[in-house]
Amino acid sequence: MSVLWKGSTGIQLQSIERNWTRERGWSSVYTYNGEWSLIDAAKTNSLYVDYASDIQADRDKNIGQLRVTFSNTDNSQPDINTEQSNTWTFAPYSIQKNIEEHPKYAGLAEITNEKGYLQRIIAAVEEYKSKVATGISAQTSNKNLVFDLTDYIETDPSGANTNITPANEDLAKELAGLLVRGHTTYDVTKYTLRNVKIVPPNTNLTVDHFKTEHQWSTPRVIDMIASGPASVTQSSIIGDVFNTFG
C-alpha cells in the first residue's frame, strides 16, 4: 500500500532549526519532505547537502524525509585578545549652514560701530515677508509689495549711516536678495574618518578613547591609521588624507 501524495510532488523545505552551544557554536538543521525517490536522490545532491556535517534520510512507504545538518567547522575557542576585523573608512559628507554664516557675509556682523547689522538685514527680510503675508490675507496693496532693503534699514553710505561702505551695501543687498528668494542655507563639506573594530563577544578589550573630541593634525591621523595592520584599504585612506589635507 502506498501513501497518496497531494499537492506538489517536489521536495518541500519543511523547517529550519538553528541551535547554539558553547562547545560547537551554531548549527542549522534543514528538514525536507517529498516522495521517497526524490528524497533518496537529494541525499547525495550537492545542492542540498554540500558542506553538511550530518545527513539523515528516512523512508515511510513512498514518502521520505531528509534532515541535513550544517555545523560550525571551527570549534576552537576565540582569542579574546584578537580583533576579528579592523576597518577604516574615510568619506565626505555635506551639512547645511545658515546662509548668513557664509564667510562672504560673516563680515557684515563685524562692521565698526554697527554691531547687529547682519541681524538687522535678516529682520528686514522677515518684516517684508510679514507685510506681504498680511497684505495677501487682508487683500491690501502690500500683497504685491516689491522688496527694497533700504525701505527697512539704512544701507546707503552717502546717507545718514556713514559706517556702511559701498562694499558692505552690496553684500547686504545680495544677502537680503538670497533670503527673499528662499535661499536660507548653503552646503558645507566635511569629512568623516571612522575606525570600526569587530571583536569576539567575550573580549576583554576596552574602547579606545584616546584624544576624543580633540582636533588632530593630518600627520597624527596618518600615524594612527598606519599603526594598525597593513592593508590596501588603510594605505589608500592614508594617501587620500595626505592628498586632501596634506
**pTM (2 d.p.):** 0.45
Pull the grid cell for residue 132: 506681504
Q: How far is CA 87 from CA 80, 83, 117, 180, 222, in A?
A: 18, 11, 49, 46, 15
Q: Is the pLDDT of residue 30 over 60?
A: yes
Query: Per-residue pLDDT averaged across 206-211, rounded?
Result: 58
Average pLDDT, the chain: 78
Q: Is 180 helix (H, G, I), strand (E, B) or coil?
A: helix
Of the candidates 161, 162, 128, the one whose C-alpha atom is nearest the C-alpha of residue 145 is 128
pLDDT in tens, 88-110: 777 777 888 899 989 889 888 88
Count of C-beta atoms within a 10 Å radius of residue 243: 8
pLDDT at 65 over 80: yes
Give domain limits for the chain.
12-71, 85-95+189-245, 98-187
Asked if 87 and 81 touch (Cβ cutoff 8 Å), the reply is no
Q: What's the rounded Cα separation, in Å, for the pair 230 and 210?
A: 21
Q: Does residue 133 carry a pLDDT above 60?
A: yes
Helical segments of 34-111, H only: 36-42, 46-49, 103-106
